[in-house]
Amino acid sequence: MRPAHSCRCLSVLHLAWLLGAMFLVGLSSCGPASPSDPANVESHAAMTGLSLSEQAPVSGSAPTTQGASPMSLASGLTPADHGEASPEEPLVVPAWMATALKSPDVYVRLHSLDQWAQHAPAGSVDPLLLAMEDEDERVQARALALIEQDWARAHAEEK
């Protein structure tokens, strides 16, 4: 009975090694680390089209309404066309929106998405696309819903 037991152990070891290798391959194919990683802060800022020095800090008690923001919602924005964007084009996101999307408070991020949807011109979905990369599923779902609303609004205006 000894050989059957060692055969099972060997089989289990091979299975464990195979699962471990598959896990490592899966992790390496998932893509870059999260934007909260200090090594990726510059690349995340480059995606928003803003340097780290251009992004204004957000105070925890300041409301994110258009009247309270020193920067107009439409300043520095270019409407995105509904075609395919080239990969070289950085996302156009105002500083206040980029800062709000980096907030650790999920409700600040959700509120900023709602503010954007209310005041942004049709077709300006770059901040919503950036929010699709958020780690919280509620932010991702809200961004997707707002993109769909923008798409429906644009098609309704065409008719």
What are the boundaries of each domain within the chain? 1-31, 34-158
Report the alpha-carbon distance of residue 50 to residue 97 in Å, rounded: 11
Written as six digits, the tokens of 150 are 């923008």
Confidence (pTM)? 0.46
Of 108, 156, 101, 106, whose CA–CA distance to 129 is shortest?
A: 101
What mean pLDDT, rounded, does the chain reach? 71
pLDDT of residue 75: 44
Per-residue pLDDT band for 90 (boundaries 50, 70, 90) equals: confident
Q: What is the pLDDT of residues 13-35, one digit of tens each?
A: 767 777 777 766 676 666 555 55
Q: What is the CA radius of gyration of the chain?
A: 22
Q: What is the pLDDT of residues 97-131, one digit of tens each?
A: 999 999 999 999 999 999 999 988 888 899 999 99
- CB count in 10 Å sphere of residue 50: 21
